[in-house]
Amino acid sequence: MSKFSDEQRHRIVAETRAILQRGQAERVHDTYELPPAEDEDLLLAALSAPLESTNDRHRREIEQEERRWARRREREQSTQQRVLANRIDQAIETLRGEMRREIEAVRADLLDVVLGCVQAVEQIDGTLDHLAREPARAASERVEALFKRMEERLDEIAPPRGTAVDLPPLPLRGSRAN
């Protein structure tokens, strides 16, 4: 869709090459190298491509710049996310270490409490065994002492057995005592 025919394009390319080779082109730097003749088809294809308008070029450049900014933002965000993730991981490891130390301290305290309870139970068990024997012996001694005192009191109150007891005379039936 070029306004030039194939023949005109070939002629323009040949003239351009001739001008460039003679060094009469003022805009070309000394370091510019002409493409080899084999690339003539590539050059013709490039020349036959429609030219980009200024607006299209600006749109393309803006889109490229926006894509570049988006990639930069993604890199920055991913860097920030990695830094944040590393900080979070370090904080988690620190907390885990602290929790492990606290758990070990609680375990040690709990072990001390359990050992103290075991010793207390053993002491209580020994004391209960001792008390279980002592009260029975003490109770039997007290009961024996009570029986002994009762016998003594009874002996004081009542005469010993086998002796005669003086009783008051019984009233007679027909007589009245005034």
On the question of pLDDT at 28 being above 50, the answer is no
pTM value?
Answer: 0.33
DSSP string of 11-60, one letter each residue: HHHHHHHHHHHHT--SSS-TT--PPPGGGHHHHHHHHHSPPPPHHHHHHH
75-107 pLDDT, tens digit per residue, is 888 888 888 889 999 999 999 999 999 999 999
The two most distant CA atoms of the chain are separated, in Å, by 190
10-19 pLDDT, tens digit per residue, is 888 888 888 7
Distance in angstroms (rounded) separating the CA atoms of residues 30 and 14: 20
On the question of pLDDT at 8 being above 50, the answer is yes
Tokens of 108: 């040690």
Specify the residue for token string 């003490």. Answer: 138
